[in-house]
Chain A
Amino acid sequence: MVFCVCIYLYGEFILNEAFTYKPLPGKERGKKSFFAVLRTKASLFAGPDHLLSVFNSSYSEDYRRFYFKDIQAIIISRTSEQAKWNAIYGGICLALLLAAYMTGEYWAAAFIAFAAIFLVKLALNWLRGPTCVCRIYTAASRTELPSLARLKNAIKTLDIIKPLIERSQGRLSGEEIKAKMGHVTEETS
């Protein structure tokens, strides 16, 4: 029975190897709605000719496609979310340690245990690096990619998808970029 299951899963694995979507770095909570905050996960995949943004809400998935030929810009802006959450976790941790110090021996253990949970969360948040907002621009839309909420994941993803976009749209030389930028500045002034 176990042998049959192993053979079946190996077959599934081989089939999936031929599949076209490759996972990209970054998996974060997608903030689709207030009640879905705790269980919605956002992730990003690279397809043959498009990016696939996936919102997984445990029992269903929503998809959004961005074709490489349609992408006009990907803008990454650094945010202060990491510092904010570090302050929140650190504050709660300190408050709990203070409470443990002020209360008796019986309650101190419970407060220290809770403080340890927040200390771990603080460490994880610190280790995951600075936060950012990544927006993808097409002619028709400007969409935030919640899966790329950490700067290092956003940069890694950009390194992966940049050649794919260039393969689809072609590559501009330095002179061409300068010429086009000059044209834009003339138009705006």
Chain B
Amino acid sequence: MVNLETHRVLYDDIALAIAIIPALFIWVTIITAPISIYLSLRHWKSPTSIIPRTKIRFIIAIMLSVVQIAAWFFVFAYIYTGNLF
């Protein structure tokens, strides 16, 4: 079948950018980390680029976002309990 698509959105790049760029501003990650995970899972099977590409960007985005969420969890745990564990 001939593929005649002329435009594709790169959701993996978007998810990765949402996981990395807000990390520079730290506070924003509380909102962007879950968004990045949502985008990665929502568009896991969406077509990305026509040219050869792996899902490594989605995987890195999810990993970074999980780390950010875990960091926030520890921050809130420290604020409310006074110790981390």
Contacts and interface: CB of A to CB of B under 8 A. Distances in A.
B54 A60 contact: no
B30 to A, nearest CB: 23
A23 B50 CA distance: 12
B56 A45 contact: no
Contacts of B59: 5, 8-9
A52 B5 CA distance: 11
Contacts of B5: 63
A16 interface: yes
Interface string A1-40: 0000100110011001001010100000000000000000
A27 B5 CA distance: 21
A61 B14 CA distance: 12
Interface of chain B, main secondary structure: loop
A106 interface: no
Interface residues of A, number: 21
B8 A13 contact: no
- Chain B interface residue number, banded: 10 to 19
A23 B7 contact: no
B13 A59 contact: yes
B9 A59 contact: yes
A21 B51 contact: yes
Contacts of B53: 16
A176 interface: no
A19 B52 contact: yes
A63 B5 CA distance: 7
B54 A16 contact: yes
Interface in B47-70: 49-56, 59
Given A5-B59, A58-B13, A59-B17, A21 B52 contact: yes
A61 B12 CA distance: 12
B17 to A, nearest CB: 7
Given A9-B56, A61-B7, A61-B8, A54 B13 contact: no
Chain B CB count within 10 A is highest, among A8, A13, A62, A63, for: A63
Given A16-B53, A45-B51, A59-B17, 20 more contacts: A5-B59, A8-B59, A9-B59, A12-B55, A13-B54, A16-B54, A19-B52, A21-B50, A23-B51, A52-B51, A54-B50, A56-B49, A58-B17, A59-B10, A60-B10, A61-B50, A62-B7, A63-B5, A64-B6, A65-B4
9 contacts: A8-B59, A12-B55, A12-B56, A16-B53, A45-B51, A59-B9, A59-B13, A59-B14, A62-B7
